[in-house]
A and B are shown apart, each in its own frame.
Chain A
Amino acid sequence: MSAQITMTQAINRAIDEAMAEDEGVILLGEDVAAKQGGGVFKISAGLTEKYGEHRVRATPISEQAIVGACVGAALAGFRPIAEIMLMNFVTVAMDQIVNHAAKLRFMSGGQTNVPLVIRTTTGVGVGFGGQHSDMLEAWFAHVAGLKIVTPSNAADAQGLMRAAIACNDPVIFIENILCYGLKSDDPGPGHFVPLGKAAIAREGSDCSIVTYGRTVLDALEIAGKLADEGISVEVIDLRTIAPYDEATVTASVEKTGRAVVLHEAVKQYGTGAEIASRLNEKLFGKLKAPVTRIGGAFSAVPMANALEQAWIPNKDAIADAVRTAVNWKG
């Protein structure tokens, strides 16, 4: 059996490698330095010891100041990584992200750019409740100038993080708390996964499930079960949510003729709406069933486990959506 690596280790390794190669790679965030415990989720464990507190800076609880400082450092030619401990807290830093990081390349006519990675964590299913669990990628996808990445496995996390740090534009890197312990075969050092390229996580011929992040695991599980029913599901892991790999998605759905777009984020106005709409525009007349969406419930994420489980896209509902598509009679 080959060596295994967890997503936590994989992200740590990617940052470590980038910091070793380039002194301009710095990490700013609440509690990230060794003295504060190397981050709440231990992503930055060991980095202060190697690179010093001037490069791994534990910050005050000041999200605007964290992202702003990273924007400034990026303008000066650094490749900063900002850790926003939980995705809901990006709301505090929206001005710096949306008005500055995203737009400075454009507004300066290409004279400056912001090679910044904003790492953040979220996820439904750990009982954190309404203000620690949101998936807010659709907000950022609506802003020109931001790239949005989320890995579904450890090896991709490592490779996507390296690519995100190397990217000359701002990248929002979303990590799912429930994925931190996932293990992959160790891809070894120097692993890169290009931004903007989706993965075909499982090949199939009857229906495509287009998804990203933790729900890729659900999609793969459902695809396995549906195979027993004689339904062949293709699972597309977007990896980069924006700009997404439209060619791969379109080719998959052109082949299968059916698609379910799945995400953990609230369904209303979500990224699934964009993907479904583009599929309809590109493939109208070739689709064998309407493209449907499955997403989180339209409420704040509840704390009580029973409610939280009811909030998350239900695996039976996802499977039913695929069956409905496959059995569609028009």
Chain B
Amino acid sequence: MTKATIDRDKLRDIYTRTMRVARADEKFRSLLMTGKLAVIYYTVRGQELVSAAAMAALEPSDYLVTTYRGQHDQIAKGVPLNPLFAEIAGKVGGTCRGKGGSMHITHPETGVMVTTGVVGSGLPIANGLALASQNRGDGKVTMVCFGDGATNIGAFHEAMNMAQLWKLPVIFLCQNNRYGEHTAFADHTKVDSIVTRAKAYGMAGVHVDGNDAIAMYNTTKAAVDRARAGEGPTLVEAMCYRMLGHFFGADFSYMPKEHLAEMAAEDPLPRLRQLMLDHQFTEAELDAIVADLDAQMDAAAEFAANSPLPGPEEIRKDVFEEEIAA
């Protein structure tokens, strides 16, 4: 395998996105552990790279639909940190004025159109965004992220069929983190690979190591190019691992220790750092990127802490276009 299959600027881009995700996740966990934040939080530890490489293959104007464990997708797509931190904290300075929370982040300026807390329900919506682009001819691509657990809901199958039927410019990015809530992949799905299901709908399906930055980027880029060229949807199954359980603080003793250890060896963060060093990035360069990001995390946490709580009048707003009576 040749290593020189990626542009150095793109590699730096992927590294920066990955570390932005990783440092934000670290910051959230530290805020939770020190009691500075008390919210439900679905940590993305172990899945940082998969979305960083995928989002690096999209244009800023492309659409993204993601799921409750979606902080890595949103950050990698470009949602600014200050309003993101504030939204997760339920503050008025948040992306959604504190009315969405971590499971319902929307930020249209960066293309993040829906974050859904209902597993699998984003896929049909992604089709609609892609349908709008197809009708308009605006050249946009829609990516929808979901986990392996989502592939057993009916909406997955309905959406796959419809997307392929209409050759919609959509990419179904299954981040196979090996667990649907507390149930291991083999205990919820009878096929060995989600890609098998793409074939059932006549759709292009690609299996990729989601912790391999170059493979992940190139696979996604090829799917994006296909979609933009009007050649239809692709299912990308990116293998990764959810390292800290279903939600932060939850017991995950059901995940076998041996498997956790095995997966720790696949940890995308040290692996990416080594890849960067192999590509002649220096330790100092990489550390400087992280130091800059950490300053941004501190600023975002402070912004969130200082942002006011939304007032009760917010309940009457945004139910309909017109404000409703008390």
Contacts and interface: CB of A to CB of B under 8 A. Distances in A.
A26 B133 CA distance: 13
Contact of A111 (B96, B98, B121): B96
A301 interface: no
Contact of B128 (A60, A62, A72, A110): A72
Given A68-B127, A72-B124, A113-B321, A108 B96 contact: yes
Contact of A78 (B65, B132, B155): B132
Contacts of B128: 68-76, 80
B320 A65 contact: no
Contacts of A295: none
Contacts of B166: 57
B100 interface: yes
Given A57-B166, A60-B165, A95 B125 contact: no
Contacts of B118: 95, 99-100
B126 to A, nearest CB: 6
B273 interface: no
Contact of A72 (B95, B125, B318): B125
A72 B155 contact: no
A72 B100 contact: no
Interface string B291-326: 000000000000000000000000001111100100
A314 interface: no
Interface centre among B104, B117, B125 (most CB of A within 10 A): B125
Contacts of B114: 72, 75, 100, 104, 112
A168 interface: yes
A64 B158 contact: yes
A95 B155 CA distance: 10
Contact of B162 (A65, A76, A111): A65
Interface string A102-135: 0011111111110000000000000000000000
Given A76-B133, A104-B114, A106-B99, A169 B321 contact: yes
Contact of B125 (A55, A100, A144): A100
A68 B155 contact: yes
A65 B125 CA distance: 8
Interface stretch (B21-29, B105-113, B174-182, B230-238): B105-113
A70 B63 CA distance: 15
A145 B315 CA distance: 12
A157 B155 CA distance: 32
B99 to A, nearest CB: 5
A73 B319 contact: no
B321 A108 contact: no
Contacts of B171: none
- Taking chain A's interface residues, is the majority helix, strand, or loop, or is none over half, making it mixed? mixed
A4 interface: no
Contacts of A147: 320
B106 A104 contact: yes
B325 to A, nearest CB: 9
A77 B131 CA distance: 11
A69 B127 contact: yes
B130 interface: yes
B143 interface: no
A60 B164 CA distance: 12
A155 interface: no
A220 B242 CA distance: 64
A112 B106 contact: yes
A298 B162 CA distance: 38
Contact of A109 (B100, B161, B324): B100
Nearest to B319: A144
Nearest to A57: B166
A91 B154 CA distance: 13
Interface centre among B96, B121, B162 (most CB of A within 10 A): B162
A68 B159 contact: yes
B113 A112 contact: yes
A65 B159 contact: yes
Interface of A: 23, 26, 54-55, 57, 59-60, 62, 64-65, 67-78, 80, 95-96, 99-100, 104-113, 144-145, 147, 167-169, 243
Given A75-B113, A106-B318, A109-B95, 19 more contacts: A26-B135, A55-B135, A62-B158, A64-B158, A65-B158, A67-B124, A68-B128, A72-B127, A74-B128, A95-B155, A96-B124, A96-B125, A100-B118, A100-B121, A108-B100, A110-B97, A111-B107, A112-B113, A169-B321
8 contacts: A60-B165, A68-B158, A69-B131, A72-B131, A73-B128, A78-B135, A100-B118, A105-B321
